Amino acid sequence: MTTPPRAVSLRGVEKRFGDVAAVAAVDLDVRPGELMVLVGPSGCGKSTLLRLIAGLEEATAGEVWIGGRCVDNVAPGDRDVAMVFQSYALYPHMTVAQNLGFGLKVRGASREDIGRRVDDVAALLDLAGLLSRRPGQLSGGQRQRVALGRAMVRDPGVFLFDEPLSNLDAGLRLRTRDEIAALHRRLGTTMIFVTHDQVEALSLGDRVAVMDGGRLQQVGTPHEIYRRPANLFVAGFVGSPPINRLPLSRGADGHLAGGPFRFAGDWAFDEATLGVRPEDLGADPEPTGALPGATPADFKTTVLRVEALGSEQRVHLDGPAGAAWIARVSPALEVAAGDRLAVSVAWDRGHLFGPDGARVAAPPCPIPDLRT
């Protein structure tokens, strides 16, 4: 594999379908050799963005740059990108070998050249025994590999994946995810990978771009995305079980208050939302906060339900402001619905979001509530 990895850069890219803005003012830089994951809920414009990069859609505004040149007027086939479709889009009337070689054939590569490269890719993806079959005679996973091979055989500067794993069963999806990660390490090619599965996004991406409503919400490493979500949407979208929320509002004393907690400070807004990840909650039958960073400002509550998942327990709690919270605790903890628990919060890992949803800061430690 000889082509150097390409950088991809979107500058103010916008795509409207009539009145619908499928993609709005997206600026995104993908570094050469990087595996960038686009993640977001269904209909947020991920596929559209990918198709804009591939050249299958024309941007309403903005520019797409690949490998240091503006490709707005370059046909999809000349952009040095390859794409794997969610449906795989294998040509049903061609054999696997013909499917793999199609891109080379239409470019006028010589027969020997095509044969050699098809064989290389087939060996790499373990497709050698299937070359003379047609897509209709393959399993879902095999089709997926053929689709992958069809992209690889042309040795492109950028790989585009549109939810390539969503048609696979859970086990195969995990395996294929690892294979793609391994492939990326090995080829070192730039890859842009679309998924709506945030676990997949975090596990696979060098960096992750979270989208919603056609806009980029945050671009960052998985750690940044998870630990420092730029806004309430990212915080809520990434993480399973979802982040626990507590609405706050300014009380008579000027502090932000919600449930048993009051946060002293010079706040520029009257409403805010507190977010705490389930693993940042400590639960203990003994009301002595044992979690690092926990303060005595715990709260006591009732267990609503327990999900014992084996490696962890998810404890549904009667939250501090009525809505249920979920705590992720060690399976060693013996707890059952109806038990009383003392819950501690790792405040330095919590998030405070302003009224517009943007993250403000980690909340300070609340003022102990004298009522409890």
Partner 1 sequence: MSRPPERTDGGLPAFLPAIVTVAFTAGLAVILLSAAASVNGARERATKNVARMAANLWEIPGAGADAVAQLLGERATIEAVPADGGAPRTRTEPGAYGYRPGALDPSVWIAVASDPDRAPPPRPTTPLALLGILLMIAWTARRRRRPPPPRYPAATLLLAAAFLALVALLAARRAHHELEAISAAHLAHGIRAAEIAVTSGADPTRAARAAGLPWGTTAALADPARLWTMPRAVSEAIAALPPPLRTAPTSTLQAGGATYHIAQTTLPPNTAPPTQSPTAPTPAPTTLHLALLGYEETASPTVPLTAASAGSTLLVAIILSLLPLSARPRALRRTLAAWGFLAPAATLLLVFTFGPLLFSLWISLQEWHLVDPAHPFAGLDNYRNIILDTAWWSSIRNTAVFTLHVPLAMAVALALALLTQGSRRAVRWARLALFLPSITSVVAIAVVWKWLLNDGYGLVNQLLARAGIGPVPWLTSPDTALASLMLISVWMVVGYQMVVFQAGLAAIPRDWYDAARVDGAGPLQRFRHITLPGLRHTLFFVLVTSVIGSFQVFGLVYVMTEGGPLGATDVAVYHIYREAWEFLRFGNAAAMSWVLFAVVFAATWLHFRFLEGRRAHA
Binding site for partner 1 (CB under 8 A): 51, 54-56, 75-78, 81-83, 85, 87, 89-94, 102-103, 106-107, 134-137, 150, 154
Residue 217 CB, shortest distance to ligand ATP, in Å, is 13
Region label for 184, one of left (φ > 0), alpha (ψ between -120 and 50) or beta (otherwise): alpha
Tokens 């040095």, residue located: 80
The residue ranges that bind Mg ion (CB under 5 A) are: 47
Residue 159 CB, shortest distance to ligand ATP, in Å, is 17
Q: Token pair for residue 324? A: 């249920």
Instruction: Return the H-helix or E-strand segment holding 232.
Output: helix 232-237
Residue 284 CB, shortest distance to ligand ATP, in Å, is 41
Q: Is 124 or 238 the residue whose CB approaches ligand ATP more closely?
A: 238
Residue 274 CB, shortest distance to Mg ion, in Å, is 33
**What is the rounded end-to-end Cα distance, in angstroms, of the chain?**
66
Q: Is 51 or 207 the residue whose CB approaches partner 1 more closely?
A: 51
Pairing of strands 35-39, 190-195: parallel
Cis peptide before 164 (omega within 30 of 0): no
Q: Pick from 159, 137, 146: which is nearest to 37 by CA?
A: 159
Q: Is 89 or 306 the residue whose CB approaches partner 1 more closely?
A: 89
Residue 93's binding partner out of partner 1, ligand ATP, Mg ion, none, with CB under 5 to 8 Å set by partner kind: partner 1
Q: Is 51 or 277 the residue whose CB approaches ligand ATP more closely?
A: 51
Q: Is 44 or 151 the residue whose CB approaches ligand ATP more closely?
A: 44
The residue ranges that bind ligand ATP (CB under 6 A) are: 17, 20, 22, 40, 42-48, 196
Residue 44 CB, shortest distance to ligand ATP, in Å, is 4
Write the DSSP string, 94-156: S-HHHHHHHHHHHTT--HHHHHHHHHHHHHHHT-GGGTTS-GGGS-HHHHHHHHHHHHHTT--
Residue 92's binding partner out of ligand ATP, partner 1, Mg ion, none, with CB under 5 to 8 Å set by partner kind: partner 1
Q: Is 134 or 250 the residue whose CB approaches partner 1 more closely?
A: 134
Q: Which residues, listed in sequence order, are joined to residue 248 by a DSSP beta bridge? A: 272
Residue 130's binding partner out of partner 1, Mg ion, ligand ATP, none, with CB under 5 to 8 Å set by partner kind: none
Whole-angstrom distance, CA of residue 323 vs CA of residue 228: 23
Residue 236 CB, shortest distance to ligand ATP, in Å, is 17
Pairing of strands 69-70, 35-39: unpaired
Residue 16 CB, shortest distance to ligand ATP, in Å, is 9
Pairing of strands 313-317, 190-195: unpaired
Residue 76's binding partner out of ligand ATP, partner 1, Mg ion, none, with CB under 5 to 8 Å set by partner kind: partner 1
User: What is the 3-state composition of the chain as percent helix, strand, coil, each rounded to the nearest 5?
Assistant: 25, 35, 40
Q: Is 148 or 276 the residue whose CB approaches Mg ion more closely?
A: 148
Residue 57 CB, shortest distance to ligand ATP, in Å, is 8
Q: Is 158 or 234 the residue whose CB approaches partner 1 more closely?
A: 158
3-state class (DSSP) for residue 294: strand
